[in-house]
Structure 1
């Protein structure tokens, strides 16, 4: 018998982040709760089960303060009821700087952040 294998193949550390955000696509907008974030995506919770297209490009807007926000373009990776995983397809330089700072503060370990940044560039 083979030992139990760990199927978790994530290359990015997730941080738990309790916050409200907005997801939009074309003319539609959804309020959502962020469950966790990484440099390469996020897990969101919606009020009702997700029944939208898995093929579209969505824009997430996460306000951090009145002046600061993180904005990223996402595609759907998986859906479980009202929890939806998204992969970051594009993020501007200001948003990645804010996200990097947020991840670094929550990880508390710059070596882990550097590993994530290296994986992002590959």
Structure 2
């Protein structure tokens, strides 16, 4: 286990889906591929025309189903960029997003106790 994995407080789950990302407060947006997600952020594929830098505010949208109410929306910052990947750190999400994300992670992890610990950690950080 490398140092980054040892310091990780949240379990990432691989998740293959299309996402839309947009710069906060602007109309510019990109389509990308979600690589993994956790309670505290996401990893996405770097779009070809990506011009933003570490620290910039980005909104991430992940449509989970056909209905509009099944869309996860996170206000994030760019945590790191490298190897054609962008790491996003979650700054804020609405209650519906938190509920859907919690359930999605719980189903994929198969461990409700781990989810409780991670949710507690998230609350302590914010």
TM-score relative to the length of structure 1 = 0.90
Cα distance in 2 between the residues matched to 1:71 and 1:33: 15
Off by >3 Å, runs of 4+ in structure 1: none
Give the unaligned 5+ runs of structure 2: none
Q: Provide the residue aligned with 2:106 in structure 1.
A: 104
Per-residue deviation, 1:43: 0.3
Residue of structure 1 aligned with 2:12, choices 3, 7, 14: 14
Specify the SS of the correspondent of 1:27: coil
Change in 2 beyond 3 A, CA 1:39/1:78: same
* Kept in 1: contact 2:30–2:47 (CA 8 A): no
Q: CA RMSD in A?
A: 1.5
* Kept in 2: contact 1:15–1:103 (CA 8 A): yes
Give the unaligned 5+ runs of structure 1: none
Specify the SS of the correspondent of 2:16: strand
Aligned length: 118
- Identify the structure with the greater helix proportion: 2
Cα distance in 2 between the residues matched to 1:10 and 1:95: 22
TM-score relative to the length of structure 2 = 0.88
* Kept in 1: contact 2:45–2:85 (CA 8 A): yes
